[in-house]
Amino acid sequence: MAASDRTKQLLADGLVELSKTMPIAEIRVKDLCATCDVDRSTFYYHFVDKYDLVAWIYAQLFERERRRASVTNGQEMIESMLDAIWTRSSFFRNALSDHSQNSLASYLLDFYIGSEREVACRYLGRSELDEETEYVIRQYSYGCLGNTIEWIQGRSALDAKTLARYQYRCMPDVLKRAWLADAASRADVAGTPTVSDLRS
């Protein structure tokens, strides 16, 4: 692991540890740096603010599961992401209770809409999506995020496997096809066969 990544991980571990005893909204960068024994300048070299660090923690988790999956955002990966989030549910519950402008919920919405828009454009061979496709992608993202937040907060009786199955069933067909095409493209680059976990 590169020195930069080690520093980021040190700060991430520190934030997770502090979040066990206080709301993330109340954690100051100064306190985090003291916990990790690093200068504030070191923190700001890597992150804009603590919310940027929270987003990095989620992005690292997503990237780890994406590398393991045969199809990005296929049912198998959705379930593995939900399992990984549940393992860290106290941290993510804490992070999602913060409703500031740069909150985790806001980041997740932008993250998923952005990645889905990108893969759909690539699949359709367009630089921009038509109005209807843009709408269904946003509708799906808002719905999945809302239901996932309820689940993390313990307001849903569904287990991860069932929630993943329902979320995948609700995925617009254009996204299912786009993620499958993305998986085939990645497999070609890697020189390995693709194993689809997409189910009709």
Amino acid at 12: A
Q: Are residues 121 and 156 in the same domain?
A: yes
Residue 194 has pLDDT above 50, yes or no: no
Q: Are residues 86 and 141 in the same domain?
A: yes
Domain-embedded: residue 199: no
Q: Are residues 43 and 116 in the same domain?
A: no
Q: Are residues 81 and 154 in the same domain?
A: yes
pLDDT in tens, 19-48: 999 999 999 999 999 999 999 999 999 999
Q: What is the pTM of this model?
A: 0.86
Q: Are residues 107 and 165 in the same domain?
A: yes
**Amino acid 76: pLDDT:** 97
Q: Are residues 88 and 16 in the same domain?
A: no
Domain-embedded: residue 154: yes
**Amino acid 100: pLDDT:** 80
What is the CATH classification number for the domain harbouring 95? 1.10.357.10
Q: Are residues 74 and 94 in the same domain?
A: yes
Q: Are residues 116 and 41 in the same domain?
A: no
Domain-embedded: residue 200: no
**Amino acid 191: pLDDT:** 57
The radius of gyration computed from the CA coordinates of the chain, to the nearest angstrom, equals 18
- Terminal-residue alpha carbon distance, the chain: 40
Contacts of 131 (CB under 8 A, 6+ apart): none
Q: Are residues 130 and 159 in the same domain?
A: yes
Range of the domain at 20: 1-47
Q: Are residues 116 and 151 in the same domain?
A: yes
Please report the sign of the dihedral spanned by the C-alpha atoms of residue 83, residue 106, residue 183, residue 140.
positive
**Amino acid 195: pLDDT:** 40
Q: Are residues 66 and 144 in the same domain?
A: yes
What is the CATH classification number for the domain harbouring 10? 1.10.10
Query: Is residue 125 very low, low, confident or very high in pLDDT (cuts 50, 70, 90)?
Result: very high
pLDDT in tens, 72-109: 999 999 999 999 999 999 999 999 988 887 889 999 99
Domain-embedded: residue 198: no
Total tally of structural domains belonging to the chain: 2
Q: Are residues 79 and 39 in the same domain?
A: no
Contacts of 173 (CB under 8 A, 6+ apart): none
Domain-embedded: residue 36: yes
**Amino acid 4: pLDDT:** 87
